[in-house]
Structure 1
Amino acid sequence: MRLAAVVAVLAVAGIAAWYFIKHPSAGPGAFVLTGNVDIRQVNLAFNVEGRIESMLVHEGDRVETGEKLATVENSYYRDALAIARARVDAQRAQVAKLVTGSRPEEIALARANVAEAEAAFSYARSVRQRQYELARRDVVSQQNLEDAETNLDRAQARREVVRQQLALAVAGPRQEDILAARAQLAADESTLSLIERRVADTVLVAPSPGTILTRVLEPGAVVLPNSAVYALAVTDPVWIRTYVPETALGKVKPGMPVTVSTDTPGSRTYTAQVGFVSPTAEFTPRAVETPELRSSLVYRVRLIVQDADDGLRQGMPVTISLDAPGKAG
């Protein structure tokens, strides 16, 4: 009986020692809070529709920022990309053509046309004059004179046309045409950029470090935009949520160091920092309600763990020890 009593006493002492090591008593300059590791989950989805080509990770896999997770068949998007690039190239050439203006050869051709039209007009005028003299002496019919006058009018009109064409060639394109071509080029480039982003969106990447919680779909499934493919538990940074009663609000300041421990036997103590203190009071959440605090007001506090490891799991209850201002460090 005496041996059994001694064993019982030692067992109680051991349990008490472990408790006080894991949950040190708040001394004159410290106080203890309880909280939970924040549950931070992201539903990952493609931003385009299509048939899933590959799913590259499984539930429980750890991923890093930018790591490829899944792909959608992109042949349709690549065809659209090729068309958009061709349109941009064609429009760029059109803008360059308008900005450069008429080539010297085009202006020379226009001048040659004017010279030809001047010669034709001179010839038609001389013919008309001869026909007029002959018709006045009744050597030729009146019809011959009218034909000569018609040919002269045509030569004069032709000369005016080629003169205006020369003026246009020398002046070059209108400024309005250049502005319109540049606006069309900007629209085509925007379309190209949009299609390039859609091609990039056929690859799903991890937005942050974390662990895959759920693999929702499999290769071959057809997805629509924003249809969840994976659920990701964000593990960096690790946040802890706790609540401070109104009477202790002055003891918690952003940036102050704290220590965090769990109830897991053999677990280590973590270092954290107060990152955020809510400016708004709220009633005690049900998760931390006690009969004494049921109607009390509290302020939400976020802690950022600086040396987190796999020992801190999302949703896990933790104990937080805070040093009073002026005693930290």
Structure 2
Amino acid sequence: MKTLLSLNLKKYMISFTILLLIFSGSYWYVYAGNTIKTLTLYGNVEVRTVNVGFRVGGEIISLNVDEGDKVEAGDILGMLDPETFQIAMNQANGAKKRANSLYQLKKNGYQNHEIVQAKADVEQHRAAYQYAASLYNRQKNLWAKNLISANEFDNADSIKNQKMAALKASESQLQKLTSGYQPEEIEATKGELEQAESALNQAELDFIDTVLKAPSSGIIQTRVVEPGTIISSGSTVFTITLSDPVWVRAFIEEPDLGMAVPGKEVLLYTDSKPNTPYRGRIGFVASTSEFTPKTVQSQNTRTHLVYRLRIVVIDADSQLLQGMPVTVVFNQ
């Protein structure tokens, strides 16, 4: 009887042990094996800013936005007095037209009627010279016979020389007209035309730059000057906080780097919206480590080496401000 009871007790013990092992394995699989590992980091919002100003100097006649205003890319923010730039553009345009006319003249050469006129001048001066030479010869013979004074002979000689010089000048002009301009002259006028075109392009660009436009969408952070101010080129007029991109800078320790995969989405919590997280995507993981920055270190982590993360905020809004603390939550 005791032996039978002992056997039954052993069977019950074995069955209980088996059931206990099955229950333990099931519990670990359901609760421990499937537990979602989370990682929490702390960082700050990073927002880019742009200093905006005119590329030319002058007097500001209008500013269309103020601090806190939202702007879109291409919105007109302000204007300079355009009068002096309009005058400069007109002058440059006139100089270009003159340079172009001179270049076309030398490129195309002289007109036919100019050559015809030059030939007629040569014939006229040749006839005048022949008459003066003939008169000189007669006067020379008369002077040799003492029939005229030396003064009359000298006058005839002077007239002959003048007519010869006029003939040579007209022949030189005809030669110039028939051969056209030298290649060097044409290239020089072409260079002057190109310089005039460049000057006009610069004047037109300066005129366009009297209008200040927003380079990107954002919010006017600061307005530095007021209408009536005379500013130099490049002086800051507005500072714009860009609405895109907005990211969070955080730091992660080496054992957790496996969770920081570029492209992975995370949740971002702020103190102002603790129950409504933003969505973020890891965009950059630093390839070198650094000591925990003072802005995020604690007594236990100040000597730890960490890696910097840049997390792009997918659904950013105007409530995310520069430097705002953010809690970053990773899910395995």
Structure-2-length-normalised TM-score: 0.80
The amino acid across from 1:55 in the alignment is: L
- Cα-Cα RMSD: 2.6
Q: 2:281 aligns with which of 273, 279, 285?
A: 273
TM-superposed CA distance for 1:296, in Å, is 1.8
Distance 1:208 1:167, change over 3 A: same
Structure 2 counterparts to residues 236-255 of structure 1, below 5 A: 236-255=244-263
Q: Structure 1: where are the runs of 5+ without partners? A: 1-26, 325-329
Q: Is residue 2:22 matched to residue 1:34?
A: no
Residues 119-158 of structure 1: per-residue CA shift (max 9 Å, x gap): 1222223333333444555554555444434333332222
Q: Is residue 2:97 matched to residue 1:89?
A: yes
TM-superposed CA distance for 1:75, in Å, is 1.6
- The answer as to whether partners of 2:218 and 2:242 remain within 8 angstroms in 1 is yes
Distance 1:137 1:223, change over 3 A: closer
Q: 2:241 aligns with which of 233, 242, 247?
A: 233
Residue equivalent to 2:54? 46
Q: Is residue 2:206 matched to residue 1:198?
A: yes
Range that drifts further, 298-307 or 146-155: 146-155
Residue equivalent to 1:71? 79
Structure 2 counterparts to residues 208-219 of structure 1, below 5 A: 208-219=216-227
Residue equivalent to 2:125? 117
Distance 1:49 1:116 in 2: 62
Structure 2 counterparts to residues 287-306 of structure 1, below 5 A: 287-306=295-314
Distance 1:68 1:216, change over 3 A: same
SS of the residue corresponding to residue 236 of structure 1 reads strand
Residues 82-129 of structure 1: per-residue CA shift (max 9 Å, x gap): 222222222222212221221111111111111112212222233333
SS of the residue corresponding to residue 52 of structure 1 reads strand
Residue equivalent to 2:65? 57
Distance 1:208 1:294 in 2: 38
The amino acid across from 1:156 in the alignment is: M
Distance 1:278 1:152, change over 3 A: same
Identity of aligned residues (%): 36
Q: 2:266 aligns with which of 255, 258, 262?
A: 258
Distance 1:267 1:316, change over 3 A: farther
SS of the residue corresponding to residue 301 of structure 2 reads coil
Distance 1:311 1:114 in 2: 90
Distance 2:75 2:275 in 1: 31
- The answer as to whether partners of 1:267 and 1:311 remain within 8 angstroms in 2 is no
The amino acid across from 1:56 in the alignment is: N
Distance 2:248 2:195 in 1: 48
Range that drifts further, 197-206 or 250-259: 250-259
Distance 1:46 1:186 in 2: 27
Distance 1:266 1:258, change over 3 A: closer
SS of the residue corresponding to residue 39 of structure 1 reads strand
> Radius of gyration: which is bigger?
2
TM-superposed CA distance for 1:295, in Å, is 1.4
- The answer as to whether partners of 1:260 and 1:269 remain within 8 angstroms in 2 is yes
